[in-house]
Structure 1
């Protein structure tokens, strides 16, 4: 039994996902194809009500919190990392609103109602040659008011799960040079997708380009104006390291299965009994277990924190350290499996590629390291 599962409700949730893990793993080679997306996996998760995990009960959701969300994301990623990352944005986006209530109520009710009816949402913020929005880049996508409507024009890249989304949250610059977050249904006239996602890692997320050509939505669809100083709690972003530690767990399981069943004639016993392999297994286990303690310890502290908007540093540090640990676990698993791990028919090569995508999900290591360095330097200079 997983020691991080604390309640019967959590146990039931993970039991449902555990039944899907072997199905997802069997389908995962299909996601090596450019332009692929795990539609069937997403459908399976919707069928167990997973897309409504964090949706409030008054909207027909499960009304669960961060701990259950992170447990589930890790388990889904053990079956398929692309699936976990793709569907995770919907539950995380809704959880942020539940905790912060930072959206305008009219637009929020439209989105919550859409999720109740089977919708999926993600924020489209990144743009070509505009820099990362997490580093303060101003969107080139524009929004102009025209009577009772908003007219949005621009392009958004790296939009995870784009082909399956029913709604986008578009960041755009308005006439006053303010950044607005606008709810945009994906079926509107003027919206098209360009399959620009040619990444070797997490290929199945279909993180495509969204093109908006004078797309019109009601002016009540503004969720938030960023200059309004509305703060939002970001604990849900821990679904990113949860996803990568789930991939690492899959790699660890494969390596253990291999090590305990492969008996070379020169050894006469499973290679798991060889001292060097046992050392690698021990290192892999220690790294994985330590990372999970850090991840779920941070979740528990976050849930107990009164001002969640002030809990940024632990979230940032946990993302970086857990993601780095996930890469280390996969590396050790690769060494245990040996040259076979590089075979295209072997799932290890996919774990190796996919886990490295975590380096490029926010927050970035260099940003956090620079911030920590500046803070500690300033602290010592004051002394």
Structure 2
């Protein structure tokens, strides 16, 4: 098994990762059909030390850039979209927490050490049945009640991606007796912490986005890691892990359809259907969308890497636009790929069906399309009063 920490260049890491995820492709169909969680994939990623790559170097990680993270995430997404989206949350959150020094140093350092040395995994648990997406701004119904020098946590969180294998949950909760909302670091295995296996969807079936149940979970004072403000959230470049996942899925769909066209030769024509102008039109349109998406996504990622903190504060519109554009282009790419393959794309054992269902999930990841469009409109009005 390759140790990704041993490589000194990004190209070396990319080549090694392509070999590491090869088995993910073969397992994707079985986990999609069963709606099961790909524990094998995450064991492989842990063993390769992938989870520690985005941890800043001062905490023992490799401190890779956003652009480098996206390049690696795209490779995983081409092999298995569910695994890419899942691990992407961990990679981005660990990167953001470390770079922005969001938590107290010793708390992040303790978590980072487990991530780097043992492949520990972390994700946010913020969505709830009553509040929906946290991006809409609802106050959590999960509560943190001060008790015995710490807190008692109670509530239910939905869409807790990676729940079957997480070592840490970052749980948002309303603090009883105050107007404050905070994030709490909850370790898996604490009394009162359990996962309810509720995840059963059409797409992204193998992300393990189950419900997290918290029943009188006793936490220390220091587990209160962050106070959450009530205003708009600052721009988060790491969330580009979302569109790059769907770009990877679309790329896999396009590759499948082009390969199929190059090898399908009905007896009604000479050669293969790849020689037909209507097929070339669809493949060409899909490739144009793929190229456009990659250039937009990676140009904004590089801009983020090269910008100051003040400059990043002005990038909310660009980040939202990338997600909107790439995800919707990915939908179109998969649709074109299915049109090329025809009715065979609907067969239960054809991967295009999985790509089609998986890529639609992107519409429901943040930021939502309507919020992005409204924000872009408001910024345009502001520039032209």
What is the number of residues matched between the two proteins? 375
Aligned counterparts, 1:129-208, within 5 A = 129-175=130-176, 176-208=178-210
Cα displacement (A) at 1:110: 2.9
Partner of 2:96, secondary structure, is helix
Structure 1 match to 2:19: 19
Structure 1: 5+ residue stretches without partners: 1-6
Is the Cα contact below 8 Å between 2:59 and 2:113 reproduced in 1?
yes
With over 3 angstroms needed to count, the CA separation of the structure-2 counterparts of 1:24 and 1:173, relative to structure 1, is same
Q: Normalized against structure 2, the TM-score is what?
A: 0.93
With over 3 angstroms needed to count, the CA separation of the structure-2 counterparts of 1:23 and 1:379, relative to structure 1, is same
Greater CA drift, 19-28 or 360-369: 19-28
With over 3 angstroms needed to count, the CA separation of the structure-2 counterparts of 1:59 and 1:373, relative to structure 1, is closer
Cα displacement (A) at 1:74: 0.6
Is the Cα contact below 8 Å between 1:104 and 1:222 reproduced in 2?
no
Structure 2 match to 1:325: 329
Cα displacement (A) at 1:186: 1.1
Question: How far apart in 2 are the matches of 1:227 and 1:373?
Answer: 25
Structure 2 match to 1:54: 54
Question: How far apart in 2 are the matches of 1:85 and 1:212?
Answer: 24
Greater CA drift, 349-358 or 31-40: 31-40
Q: Normalized against structure 1, the TM-score is what?
A: 0.94
With over 3 angstroms needed to count, the CA separation of the structure-2 counterparts of 1:34 and 1:149, relative to structure 1, is farther
Aligned counterparts, 1:297-312, within 5 A = 297-307=299-309, 308-312=312-316
* CA deviations over 1:18-44 (Å, ceiling 9, x no partner): 113431111111112454111111111
Partner of 1:170, secondary structure, is strand
Question: How far apart in 2 are the matches of 1:145 and 1:169?
Answer: 18
1:70 has 2:65 as partner: no
Is the Cα contact below 8 Å between 1:284 and 1:329 reproduced in 2?
yes
Which residue, out of 232, 241, 244, partners 2:243?
241
* CA deviations over 1:292-314 (Å, ceiling 9, x no partner): 00010001111111122332111
With over 3 angstroms needed to count, the CA separation of the structure-2 counterparts of 1:229 and 1:112, relative to structure 1, is farther
Is the Cα contact below 8 Å between 1:143 and 1:172 reproduced in 2?
yes
* CA deviations over 1:251-300 (Å, ceiling 9, x no partner): 01101110101111111211101010011111011110110000100011
In angstroms, what is the RMSD of aligned CA positions? 1.8
Partner of 1:209, secondary structure, is strand
Partner of 2:211, secondary structure, is strand
Question: How far apart in 1 are the matches of 2:354 and 2:272?
Answer: 25
Is the Cα contact below 8 Å between 1:99 and 1:233 reproduced in 2?
no
* CA deviations over 1:162-212 (Å, ceiling 9, x no partner): 001000000001131211011100110001111111111000001000000
Greater CA drift, 307-316 or 80-89: 307-316
Question: How far apart in 2 are the matches of 1:355 and 1:266?
Answer: 34
Question: How far apart in 1 are the matches of 2:41 and 2:17?
Answer: 11
With over 3 angstroms needed to count, the CA separation of the structure-2 counterparts of 1:276 and 1:21, relative to structure 1, is farther
Which residue, out of 267, 277, 280, partners 2:279?
277
